[in-house]
Amino acid sequence: MSLSVLICDDSNMARKQVLRILPESLSENVQLATNGVEALEILNNQPIDVLFLDLTMPIVDGVGVLQGIKEAGISVNVFVISADIQPEMQNKVLELGAKAFLRKPVQLDVLTTHLKQHDII
Amino acid sequence: MNNVNLNEDQQDCLQEIINVAMGQASDQLARYLDTFVYLKVPSIEQVSAQHLSDTLKYEAQSVAVVSQGFFGYEGIRGEALLMYQPKDSDRLADLLGYEPDELSVEEQIIDLSSILTTTFLNVFASQIDNQMSYSAPRLLFSSNADNNTSSQSSISEHIQHNSFNWDTALKVKISYQVTDYSFNCDMILLIPESAIINITSVIDRILEEY
């Protein structure tokens, strides 16, 4: 059974970057969100197994999404994919429950390694 | 204004390339200042010469402005303006952590500007398989004096004296906000008309891969 995936990024190109390197088991049931509000709406209404989350976004940013997930007690494996690579930000998202921080632009081998490390694939 | 508008995909692609460069520059700034830098989504707009002049007058409500030209392959070039807006200039010296009299505030500002500009543009260039050269950073205005009028004219004159055609420019504005020090720094990249066309060609090549 394929896992449900949500990719949240305000950039169409960044969403495509993730989409095209997804392993087969994650590429059959993919939804897209362009900001944190859209992502939280999806997460509150249906089970999502894996969320790939950008941080610097308009309306509600990635940190806001992680806080929303935590407050609502939603169970989802979150992989942050961001250009904001400051160590303080990386620690912050891990403290908020993200499984891993991946720097943009994300590469296939890096994504695969992290997904394997967390038993997603 | 000539028709060199970016379409939605081109703008999105440019914004994402800028995001990655901004992230690495902010990381450098955070390490340099030993603090956290809050990032906002950068803005990209195409401006006419008149709007550019008006914008620079508005943006020049700053304590200090440093300008540095950049030149890459394939006709990609422009001017980076670093605009500092701390609540007071003395605070900037404390923030930068130099001993008194080690370096003047002006020298410290130029140092910081050079780090931000070159880090940002080197990352930007590497993403488009390019390489940048830089002119020496130049302090256009520092505000030990309270003279905004002279700062505005200094920036405008500096821009006009460049050999670029500024009838139309792409203006990219990136805000670096160091929240715990109430310190703000805006990086404004001005890309002249001829270079916009060249950047558009590079972006189209990247988009073909998607």
- Mean pLDDT confidence for A85-110: 97
Alpha-carbon gap, residue A46 to A58, rounded angstroms: 23
Could you read off the pLDDT tens digit of each residue along chain B, which spans 210 residues? 455 689 999 999 999 999 999 999 999 888 888 889 999 899 999 888 777 777 776 666 667 889 999 999 999 999 999 988 755 556 666 766 767 677 777 888 888 898 899 999 999 999 999 999 999 999 887 665 445 555 555 676 777 676 667 788 899 999 998 877 667 889 999 999 889 999 999 999 999 987
Q: pLDDT averaged over chain A?
A: 96
Helix axes B193-208, B8-33, angle to 10 degrees: 100
**CB contact at 8 A, B167 and B196:** no
Name which of A11, A20, A86 is nearest B16 (Cβ-Cβ).
A11
Name which of B13, B21, B26 is nearest A13 (Cβ-Cβ).
B13
**CB contact at 8 A, B132 and B61:** no
**CB contact at 8 A, B167 and B181:** no
- The alpha-helical segments, DSSP class H, found in B162-209 are 193-208
Helix, strand, coil % in chain A, rounded to nearest 5:
40, 20, 40
Other CB atoms within a 10 A radius of the CB of residue B101 amount to 6
- Collect all residues of chain B within an 8 Å Cβ-Cβ radius of residue A34: none
- Mean pLDDT confidence for A43-56: 97
Alpha-carbon gap, residue B164 to B49, rounded angstroms: 12
ipTM entry: 0.90
**CB contact at 8 A, B163 and B75:** no
Q: What is the CATH number of the domain that holds A82?
A: 3.40.50.2300
Output phi, psi for B100, to 5 deg. -55, 135
Between chain A and chain B, how many beta carbons pairs sit less than 8 Å apart?
A: 53
**CB contact at 8 A, A77 and A50:** yes
Q: What is the H or E stretch that residue A102 is in?
A: strand A100-103
pLDDT of residue B164: 67
A82–B210 C-beta distance less than 8 A: no
A16–B41 C-beta distance less than 8 A: no
Q: Which of A46, A101, A104, A110 is nearest to A78 (CA)?
A: A101
Asked if residue A105 has a cis previous peptide bond (ω within 30° of 0), the answer is yes
> Number of structural domains, chain A?
1
- In DSSP notation, B93-157 reads HHHHTPPTTTS-HHHHHHHHHHHHHHHHHHHHHHHTT---EEPPPEEEEETTS--HHHHHHHHHH
Q: Find the residue in B nearest to A106 (Cα).
A: B20
A83–B41 C-beta distance less than 8 A: no
Output phi, psi for B163, to 5 deg. -80, 0
pLDDT one-digit tens code per residue, A104-121: 999 999 999 999 999 999
Write the Ramachandran bin of A36: left for phi over 0, alpha for psi from -120 to 50, otherwise beta: alpha
Domain span holding position A92:
4-117
B9–A56 C-beta distance less than 8 A: no
Distance from chain centroid for Cα A104? 12
Ordered domains of chain B (ranges, CATH): 8-208 (3.40.1550.10)
Alpha-carbon gap, residue B62 to B42, rounded angstroms: 19
Alpha-carbon gap, residue B152 to B207, rounded angstroms: 38
